Structure 1
Amino acid sequence: MVALSLLAAVVALPAVIASPTIRLRQNGPPGCGNGAPGDFDSAASITLTALNTTLPNSNDNGAPLVASEIEIFGAESSWVLTTQASASLRLTVSDFTLQTGALLPVSSNGQEFADSAVEPGDGIGFQRFPGNAPSGSLSEIYCGIVNTGLAGGNSSQPLLSIQGNSSNFALCESDGLNVVVFQPEDSDGCYPVEILIFEH
């Protein structure tokens, strides 16, 4: 009986030794690239900025981003991620949350948001609903990844990514707004940016 217990313990030992590494890989957020230490798909309270990757920036933190209202359908409305400076005459929300891959604006008046599915060439969009309407993500594809400093800035803030891709965002002019677009199909009026995440 003792020999059998000892044999079971010896057989289980390699699995116990390997389990922390396996657990680390299994617990990484799905779709966040290579699952490097520091990657995350949830953060309670964040703000976002856009850092130009081709021209000098006025600071290392980039231009503040906000969700800007662009259309109203009865009690519901459509919003898009823009620079704060370009949205000065619109209703905006500057605080966001990441909830298991959903990027959502945080409204102070009880309105609920859902993020829109994103295809190449799309702006980063949201839908707002009145009161207790369902909220969340249509695709749960956003996460924060470790910043390797590719833009040459001195910021160590994590980068927003879509399915692990943080390098295909651009700011594009549209109807007087500087809109964040994922993989723009036409680069006229666009320039590449990295989206920095600031947790608070």
Structure 2
Amino acid sequence: MVVSLLAATAGTALAFTVGYIVYRTRSIARGALESVSMVPHVVLAIGLLWTWLIMPLPVYGTLWILVIGFVVVQMPQGFRGIAASIRATDRDLEDSAVMLGARRGRAIVSITLPLMRAAVLSTFMLLLMLSMRELTVPLFLYTTDTQLLSITIYDQFENGGTLREASATALIYCAIMFLLSYLPRRLGAKNGGSGV
């Protein structure tokens, strides 16, 4: 849960930042950022593995390498969810706040983010659920000290003698995933009448 929450939070923040730069600024790096954000996740995972193995930062073998891996691999999903909302949100309110003296950062936090609240929350929930069910990235990056729930289920299943434990763990896992998918719908239905 810790890795999934950190990955979903960082992934949503990164997706919003990249989406804002691509669709709301005139930066010369817009095209490159969009292209990198949409690189197939298998290519990124292999590149990530080699990059962090040769870098001097002591990240490999910790939970942080898993968080980084999840963020990189799920960037296309996060970027597309945020990008669609940014393009659908009118920029005039934000520009009006800037013209009236607000700084751009304050206008983004006070106007743009509240208007995009539903898209940001849904992107966060999507990335959270994708992180929880991810198996490919942890298989490359986990160690005995950083074993995730998906790896635990996989190991229990592969051992053959612990199928009951694997089934029980998978059932708990499914219950958590069900709650994560059900609660936002329930809360969204309650808040639907208030314009959220």
Task: Answer 1 or 2: higher relative contact order, Cα 8 Å, separation at least 6.
Answer: 2
Q: Is this a same-fold pair by TM over 0.5?
A: no
Pick the structure with more helix per residue: 2
TM-score by length of 2: 0.22
